[in-house]
Amino acid sequence: MIIDLEPFLNVEGLVKELDYTVDLSGEEFLGGKPFNAPVSVKGILSNHSGIVTVDADADFTMSVCCDRCAKPIDFPYDIAINHTLVASLNDEENDDLLLVEDIKNFNLDELVTDDIFLNLPSKFLCSEDCKGLCPKCGKDLNDGPCSCRKEIDPRLAALTQLLDN
Residues 75, 120 share a domain: yes
- 88 and 45 in one domain? yes
Q: Is 116 exposed, middle or buried (0-12, 13-18, 19+ CB in 10 A)?
A: buried
Predicted local confidence at residue 91, as pLDDT: 66
Number of structural domains the chain divides into: 2
Same domain membership, residue 80 and residue 19: yes
Higher pLDDT, residue 96 or 72: 72
3-state secondary structure of 99: strand
Residues spanned by the domain of 164:
135-165
Lowest mean pLDDT among 9-23, 75-89, 148-162: 148-162
- Mean pLDDT computed over 106-133: 92
Residue 43 burial (10 A CB sphere; 0-12, 13-18, 19+): buried
DSSP state of 142: G
User: Does one domain contain both 67 and 34?
Assistant: yes
Cross-strand bridge partners of residue 72 = 65
Strands (E), 11-161: 15-22, 39-48, 51-65, 72-86, 97-99, 106-107
Confidence label for 54 from pLDDT (cuts 50, 70 and 90): very high
> Is the pLDDT confidence value at 12 over 70?
yes
Same domain, 139 and 67: no
What is this structure's pTM?
0.78
